[in-house]
Amino acid sequence: MKRYAKEGIQDYISLLAFSDYYGISATMASGLMNNTSTPGNVMHRVKNGTYKITSRPMATAIAECYKRLASINPALKKLNALKVLYACFQVSYFDPDRLVSGAERKASEIKSITKIDLFFTLFEDLYNFNRKEKKPLEFDARTAMRNRSAIKPKQ
């Protein structure tokens, strides 16, 4: 990536700047900026110099929310938290401000976790904290990701 950025290829320059600004690995950033939470889907293009950014607005919205969450509690600055956040952004009703608000109110109760399943549960808990209308965010985010998958699971 650095080589192509030094050669002046704008997409690589932008990718590395995005990665640095948001504190997200360049590999993960390359996926987000192509509307995927699986960077392996775009790494062949990154490596051969043909990488193009296709989803800057969505990637920026996700990264902004991630940055806000990480500033509330460092336990939320994990790769799996970012992947779950990406899944949440695939849900039509998802409101990042509502998630951040829940995280702010429960900041001292958030413990360090690493497993992706626990992040799904945590994000739903934070999203619904002190709300009358509870949303099945974990279920809906997992469903949205399953529906996006190019390879459908066997029935």
Read off the pLDDT of residues 22-54 as tens digits, 9 standing for 90 and up.
999 999 999 999 988 888 888 999 999 999 999
Domain ranges for the chain, please list them. 1-54, 57-155
Average pLDDT of 67-95? 96
Mean pLDDT, all residues of the chain: 93
pTM above 0.85, yes or no: yes
> Which amino acid is located at 103 in the chain?
A
Given this model, what pLDDT does residue 36 score? 87
Least confident of 58-62, 66-70, 140-144, 147-151: 147-151
Residue 142 has pLDDT above 70, yes or no: yes
